[in-house]
Structure 1
Amino acid sequence: MDKIAEKFPKGVLHALIGEKKFSLSRLQPSAEIGYFVQHYWIVRWDLRGQAPYSQVVIAHPNVNLVFEKGASGIFGVAKTTSSHLLKEQGWVFGIKFKPGGFYPFLQAPVSTLTGGVIGLEEVFGIDTNQLEAEILSQPDDAAMLRLAEQLLTAHMPEQDPNTALVADIVQMIQQDRTILRVEDVVHLTGMNKRTMQRMFDRYVGVSPKSVIQRYRLHEAAERMDQGTAGDWLDLSIALGYYDHSHFIRDFRSIVGVSPEEYRQYK
């Protein structure tokens, strides 16, 4: 069982506060399952004797299959942010599919899941509560991972070449900070814009424009958390915005507060 470096991913808001409240582990899938799955993740917390803590995330463009006591399910990409209330003691085990990686299991546009959650019964024909109890009762991370891999292996679809194509495009958007508009992706890939939009609707669940926006706001939040954002004009220019008012509107529409309110949060 290989562990990925346990660094909080971008998109976890106020990460310096969050890392004092919970721990995050990420585990590699097997080679075959790795065609569809980005990684497994486990969040643990112990806030006994402390106030509950709400962790907010700017969602990545990934479907997650989550096992948590009384709240398990298959979660589509959140439209804005997603939040999770941590209280007392607990843990969550999750399967993070690659962008496009859940479509071969679902065999329906992933956009039908966007902003929502469904039970395992609807995709895998398995009782959600029963599998939740089995996975969360395992003695260690490796045992939980084995059960998850058994589930996916038993329902393994054929590899869809569009899954790898979409995952590569999303990774390019994430890593190439010069990509600021959908037209930039069209230029780099040579794909027709409308074809790309249809593919993202079917395989990812959100538009290419939304994916670009999410990753740029991930960058903004990280810089603010680390105290390296500078003024809003400089930050907006660095993120590819034409003016800082556009950046501020985007940030507020997704995060729910202005950049200044976010930066002042302690």
Structure 2
Amino acid sequence: MTGPRRDTRGIVDPRALLSRVRFRRREPAAPLRPYLEHYWLIDWDLAEPYAAHVVPHPSVNLVFQRYGGRTEFGEVAGVGPQLSAHKLEGAGRVCGVQFRPGGFRPFAPSRPVSAWTGRNVAHTEVFPGTGDAPAAVLGPDDEDARVAALDAFLLAAGPRPDPQADLAMELVERLRTDRTVGRVAGFARDAGLSVRALQRLFAAYVGVGPKWVILRYRFHEALERAGSEREIDWAGLAAELGYSDQAHLVRDFTATIGVPPTACPR
């Protein structure tokens, strides 16, 4: 890991969001880095409500939040299958942990990660006896102190060494970076696994299947390109991302976001 990534993949209209909130990514303590993508910190003070839309990564998130007049609370957000909307209003603060796909299970080994997919549950359901954690994480005004509180929480929770988690993280990273991977059967064969064994591994450690992960990473790139480039060769991009044709890319994009790629803000 070379530090938190700097892209805006997954955020619909990132310019609009980043003009309204203060958003940062921070690196966790060294023992946690193999399991975490990064910490993400958001603060805002808005005169008018704003709805942020995100196409989730194939990652579990641990999120501590304070906004909308609510007291501090924490939740574990499993992999989100669909576009999610987050209403921001007034003043608020969020301190989040994005686990690497496959990296959450070592902290919560009692259940497969698929048990959390599509669900948001109180953090105490996954990490019993940590009811005071939201106040400890969100309370400090000093950003470094918040990061230190996240480090302390996660180091106390684990992680527990798990070779299967290591394998899952390695395989998902290959799906993220290798655009030539198109078919699950070939990917499983290259990994020395049967398709069924690969699917079981992903259900237990990632929360979604390998085909879903392939499509989601393709979609994230298409979304980022749609929001940042003025002139896009959609047929060429579809071929580049492994779609069978432009129509499949446009259909996938429209079904996920609700508008065709040409309607995305730039």
Q: 1:229 to 1:101 in 2, by over 3 A?
A: farther
Which of 78, 81, 88 is matched with 1:79 structurally? Answer: 81
Give, in whole Å, the separation in 1 of the partners of 2:118 and 2:17: 23
Structure 1 residues 8-23: aligned runs within 5 Å: 8-23=7-22
Residue 113, structure 1, aligned to residue 116, structure 2: yes
Unaligned runs of 5+ in 2: none
Which of 126, 129, 145 is matched with 1:126 structurally? Answer: 129
Whether the 8 Å CA contact 2:35–2:99 is kept in 1: the answer is yes
Unaligned runs of 5+ in 1: none
Give, in whole Å, the separation in 1 of the partners of 2:165 and 2:56: 19
Whether the 8 Å CA contact 1:4–1:25 is kept in 2: the answer is no
Letter in 1 for 2:102: G
Compare 168-177 and 247-256 and name the one that shifted more: 247-256
Give, in whole Å, the separation in 2 of the partners of 1:52 and 1:235: 35
Note the alpha carbon deviations across 1:128-185, whole angstroms, 9 max, x for none: 4x32122211121211122222222222142101112111111111111222232342
Q: Which residue of 1 aligns with 2:55?
A: 58
Whether the 8 Å CA contact 1:120–1:126 is kept in 2: the answer is no
Q: Which residue of 2 aligns with 1:163?
A: 165
TM-score, normalization by structure 2 = 0.89
Q: 1:5 to 1:108 in 2, by over 3 A?
A: closer
Structure 1 residues 36-47: aligned runs within 5 Å: 36-47=35-46
Whether the 8 Å CA contact 1:6–1:25 is kept in 2: the answer is no
Q: Which residue of 1 aligns with 2:93?
A: 91
Compare 198-207 and 174-183 and name the one that shifted more: 174-183
Give, in whole Å, the separation in 1 of the partners of 2:141 and 2:3: 20
Letter in 2 for 1:109: P
Letter in 1 for 2:123: L
> 1:23 Cα deviation (Å)?
2.7
Structure 1 residues 97-246: aligned runs within 5 Å: 97-106=99-108, 107-128=110-131, 130-227=132-229, 230-246=232-248
Whether the 8 Å CA contact 1:163–1:203 is kept in 2: the answer is yes
Runs of 4+ aligned residues of structure 1 deviating over 4 Å after TM superposition are 3-6
Letter in 2 for 1:171: E
Letter in 2 for 1:213: L
Identity %: 36
Give, in whole Å, the separation in 1 of the partners of 2:149 and 2:21: 24
> 1:236 Cα deviation (Å)?
1.6
Whether the 8 Å CA contact 1:100–1:163 is kept in 2: the answer is yes
Q: CA RMSD for the aligned pairs?
A: 2.1
TM-score, normalization by structure 1 = 0.89
Give, in whole Å, the separation in 2 of the partners of 1:254 and 1:78: 12
